[in-house]
Structure 1
């Protein structure tokens, strides 16, 4: 008789007695062996010289029936991996002033929220500028832009975009302007140090509270450039042209450039110097050209 124990050991011998708590075997090597019944896992190979039949031995041992093999679970479905999300947020603010022979106050601020994955990008830009000279307001402008870029495929340089913008300017001949555009974008350069993107599309803008309170169809041609000069220094440039689709030769545009240097090792605090130029061939009673210079402290979060 072969008795397999719960320790994976096997005891070989002839069953000579079956007691309440033990099975007694006679081994040719170890002599009489008393095996606790609670330790027996299975019994195999009945010895014909045993005084008991195989059925009697199994009945007295009262071995538990082997549990059926557990069904093999189907492999779990691996959830589709979602693109990694990267947030790049910043708040910029700058304030200059003078008091004495002349009184001047110049304040500007920008809030940028950008969410990027391998497939799409969402950008929110909010600008505000206020200037007071000799206690009179000379500039008071606010604008906010929301743009969504969606790549044709992961890693593709091509993308579709849609954007909307709201503008307020106290010194224009309109109260506020709303514009909506859509089109195609292409990444000419995209590596660890340089990104250059161009876009083209069409849409319309409307000036509320002015002399031409109607939707005007416009085209859109623009670019964005970012280049890392060093680990703690970078430059950016951008430009967008909005040609009128009704009046050939008429257009408006906005362009700018900036230099940025980190003030801390982790880059959370930086100094940004730059300028922005806006031009409109149909400004009404306002000037065609506006040029703003700025120096701002940047807080990244």
Structure 2
């Protein structure tokens, strides 16, 4: 059970009044710290430990040792769980559903849906993403876009990793019936803190495109991308995913920025803006498309 931080603070202070400084942590203070650790709430643990050290400065090392021992035990349990998790276990993610508006090849409003799944093991990270945007205007379908991707990462050493990418797209309004991209290379986690993560990756890519009015193309190209997740508060998060695919005949630049705010429990609201630019689009297609989405997100 999560203990109210103010109540814990008051109890610890009262329990410590009149207790002379000594090598062993006073029993009431130890009991409060044990209760906070048993709750598993890291915020409460930090609050109780902070107040306990103020009230009992000569016992600061013992308090720090208790907290450190707890965190090591949690880490060992997490590693054991990751080792034992099966292929279809320990996946987390979110699904989103809402509305969207577009500019570029079409100007209309419609529905958007998305799914993101992630799994983090000891050496492997997996991410599956899928999005769809469907719009109609004056009785005619003006957008029917689909995208699905799978990206496995394998940790090498320090912040370096290998990545793979398989992506499939359908967007007839950008001039192609379907497009498949396969890539792989090196990645680097440039920043990793509790609140901010930035990944940079790049490598060769093969892309096959079935154009609506032109012959199909198969090209060896280059891919570079960045992924940013910045947690501003416990309830607000900003993310940005940028990708560039360079080809001899056509290059694609895309970026999706999103602002997510937790509403209640597993439910969040998200506002995102996506832009994609083709350097050499088919005749009759506009080079730059944008999609603005407002969705409700359910995390699991």
TM-score (normalised: structure 2): 0.66
Q: Residue by residue, what CA displacement relative to the aligned partner does 1:122-153 show, whole Å, maximum 9, x if unpaired?
A: 11100100111222222110010111110014
Equivalents in 2 of 1:274, 1:209: separation in Å?
28
Shift of residue 251, structure 1, vs aligned partner: 1.5
Equivalents in 2 of 1:203, 1:151: separation in Å?
20
Shift of residue 171, structure 1, vs aligned partner: 1.1
Equivalents in 2 of 1:300, 1:278: separation in Å?
27
**SS state of the match for residue 282, structure 1?**
coil
Shift of residue 172, structure 1, vs aligned partner: 2.7
**SS state of the match for residue 173, structure 2?**
coil
Q: Which residue number corresponds to residue 235 of structure 1?
A: 238
Shift of residue 199, structure 1, vs aligned partner: 0.2
Equivalents in 2 of 1:178, 1:164: separation in Å?
8
Q: Which residue number corresponds to residue 50 of structure 2?
A: none
Equivalents in 1 of 2:147, 2:114: separation in Å?
10
User: Which structure exhibits the higher relative contact order, with contacts defined as CA atoms closer than 8 Å and separated by 6 or more residues?
Assistant: 2
Equivalents in 1 of 2:237, 2:229: separation in Å?
7
Q: Which residue number corresponds to residue 171 of structure 2?
A: 169
Q: Which residue number corresponds to residue 22 of structure 1?
A: none
Q: Which residue number corresponds to residue 217 of structure 1?
A: 220
Q: Which residue number corresponds to residue 51 of structure 2?
A: none
Equivalents in 2 of 1:88, 1:284: separation in Å?
39
Equivalents in 2 of 1:242, 1:95: separation in Å?
28
Q: Residue by residue, what CA displacement relative to the aligned partner does 1:23-42 show, whole Å, maximum 9, x if unpaired?
A: xxxxxxxxxxxxxxxxxxxx
Q: Which residue number corresponds to residue 120 of structure 1?
A: 124
Equivalents in 1 of 2:204, 2:148: separation in Å?
19
Q: Residue by residue, what CA displacement relative to the aligned partner does 1:228-280 show, whole Å, maximum 9, x if unpaired?
A: 11110110011000011x35xx421110101010011x3x1000001000110
Equivalents in 1 of 2:100, 2:181: separation in Å?
31
Shift of residue 209, structure 1, vs aligned partner: 4.4
Q: Which residue number corresponds to residue 289 of structure 1?
A: 288
Q: Which residue number corresponds to residue 161 of structure 2?
A: 159
Q: Residue by residue, what CA displacement relative to the aligned partner does 1:68-122 show, whole Å, maximum 9, x if unpaired?
A: xxxxxxxxxxxx956466532110000379xxxxxx6510000111111231111
- Number of equivalent positions: 209
Equivalents in 1 of 2:269, 2:145: separation in Å?
22
Larger relative strand fraction: 1
Equivalents in 1 of 2:176, 2:110: separation in Å?
23
* CA distance 1:288–1:96, change in 2 (3 Å): closer
**SS state of the match for residue 175, structure 1?**
strand
TM-score (normalised: structure 1): 0.66
The answer to whether the aligner puts 1:183 opposite 2:185 as a matched pair is yes
User: Where do 5+ consecutive residues of structure 2 fail to align?
Assistant: 1-78, 102-107
- Aligned residues of 2:99 and 2:293 also touching (Cα < 8 A): no
Equivalents in 2 of 1:281, 1:183: separation in Å?
24
- Aligned residues of 1:277 and 1:291 also touching (Cα < 8 A): yes
Larger relative helix fraction: 2
* CA distance 1:96–1:259, change in 2 (3 Å): closer
Equivalents in 1 of 2:195, 2:122: separation in Å?
17
* CA distance 1:109–1:218, change in 2 (3 Å): same
- Aligned residues of 1:270 and 1:299 also touching (Cα < 8 A): yes
**SS state of the match for residue 243, structure 2?**
strand
Equivalents in 1 of 2:155, 2:215: separation in Å?
36
